[in-house]
C-alpha cells in the first residue's frame, strides 16, 4: 500500500473463509488510510499540549498531549513524563516518538502470543535534533513520510542548571 497510491481492502461476502491475512490486511488498510489523512490534511508536529519544562531537580517534564509524526502516526502522551538529566557539555533535544508495544499474552499451541498492540509514546533525550533535516518541510506539512522522533524542545546546561532554549515542532493551527 503506497501512501499516495490506491489502497486495497478486503471484500467480504457470504461463504468466504477468512484468514489471519485477510484480517491483517483489513487493519493495514485502515491504518494506512488514517496515517495518510493525518499527514496530508493535518501535517506533522504537535497538535496539542506536550509542553516542555525543566524542574528544579533538573528533570525534563513533558505534559500530556498529542503529536503527529512524519509517517502520520498519532503520538499520544496520557500523563506527564519526567526524565532526570545530569550536566553535560552538549545541548539536548527533547523528542517524542511513536511506539507500539505487544500486550496481553495468551497461550497458543507452541507457546505464547500477544493478543493486542498498544500504541503509545516514548519521550527521549537526544544530542541531535531528529527534525533538523526538515528544511522547507516544517511542522504542518506532510513531512518526509518516515516514522522518526519529533523534537519538542532544545535544552542547554547553563549556570549549573538546565535551561529551555526553544520550543520546537509546533505545527500550524488548522
Average pLDDT, the chain: 88
Instruction: Quickly state the pLDDT bin for 173 (edges 50, 70, 90).
Output: very low
Tell me the mean pLDDT in the region 80-109: 92
Residues with Cβ within 8 Å of 62's Cβ and at least 6 positions away in sequence, in order, are 50, 51, 52, 77, 80, 81, 83, 94, 96, 123, 152
135-137-138-144 Cα dihedral, nearest 10 degrees: -100
CA–chain centroid gap for 156, Å, is 24
Q: Please give the pLDDT value at position 66.
A: 95
| Whether the predicted pLDDT of 133 surpasses 90 | no
In whole angstroms, give the CA distance from residue 40 to residue 128.
26
Q: Please give the pLDDT value at position 2.
A: 47
Tell me the mean pLDDT in the region 131-158: 84
Exposed/middle/buried for 62, CB within 10 Å: 0-12, 13-18, 19+? Answer: buried
- pLDDT tens per residue across span 28-66: 999 999 999 999 998 899 999 999 999 988 899 999 999
Q: What is the pTM of this model?
A: 0.85
Q: Please give the pLDDT value at position 88.
A: 78
Tell me the mean pLDDT in the region 153-167: 84
What are the structural domain ranges in the chain? 45-167
Instruction: Quickly state the pLDDT bin for 8 (edges 50, 70, 90).
Output: confident
Element (DSSP H or E) covering residue 62: strand 59-62
Amino acid at each position: 500500500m503506497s501512501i499516495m497510491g490506491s489502497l486495497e481492502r478486503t471484500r467480504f461476502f457470504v461463504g468466504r473463509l477468512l484468514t489471519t491475512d485477510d484480517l491483517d490486511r483489513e487493519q493495514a488498510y485502515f491504518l494506512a488510510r488514517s496515517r495518510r489523512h493525518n499527514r496530508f490534511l493535518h501535517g506533522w508536529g504537535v497538535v496539542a499540549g506536550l509542553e516542555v519544562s525543566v524542574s528544579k531537580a533538573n528533570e525534563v517534564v513533558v505534559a500530556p498531549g498529542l503529536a503527529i509524526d512524519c509517517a502520520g502516526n498519532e503520538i499520544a502522551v496520557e500523563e506527564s513524563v519526567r526524565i532526570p538529566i545530569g550536566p553535560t557539555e552538549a545541548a539536548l533535544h527533547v523528542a517524542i516518538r511513536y511506539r507500539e508495544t505487544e500486550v496481553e499474552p495468551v497461550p497458543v499451541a507452541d507457546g505464547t502470543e500477544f493478543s493486542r498492540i498498544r500504541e503509545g509514546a516514548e519521550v527521549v533525550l537526544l544530542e541531535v535534533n531528529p527534525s533538523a533535516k526538515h528544511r522547507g518541510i516544517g511542522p504542518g506539512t506532510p513531512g518526509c513520510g518516515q516514522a522518526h522522533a519529533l523534537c519538542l524542545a532544545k535544552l542547554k546546561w547553563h549556570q549549573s542548571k538546565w535551561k529551555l532554549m526553544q520550543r520546537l515542532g509546533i505545527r500550524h493551527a488548522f
